[in-house]
Amino acid sequence: MNYTTSDIAIAAYLMLKGFKLLSATREASGRFKFDFDDSNNEAKGYAVEYISSEFCRFDTHLKNLKKLLY
């Protein structure tokens, strides 16, 4: 089974947690698409874990800093 996300931060977190990235593409709409091997059906749980993690707060601060510069 695969897990797919368009969120680059969640994709990076899953990679940090050891999930194997199967493909990374950019759709015609401009959205990202990341496919992971999720043989144990655990990726969704880690995606939820990410939302309440320090990594998510860090990513939010990065986005806010970019907005200040652009």
Query: Model's pTM, two decimal places?
Result: 0.88
| pLDDT tens digits along 4-43 | 999 999 999 999 999 999 999 999 999 999 999 999 999 9
Dihedrals phi, psi of 33, to nearest 5 degrees: -140, 120
The pair of three-digit structure tokens given for residue 31, joined into one six-digit string: 């959205």
Angle between helices 54-69 and 8-16 (to 10 degrees): 140
8 vs 58: CA distance, rounded Å = 13
66 dihedral zone (left: phi>0; alpha: psi -120 to 50; beta): alpha
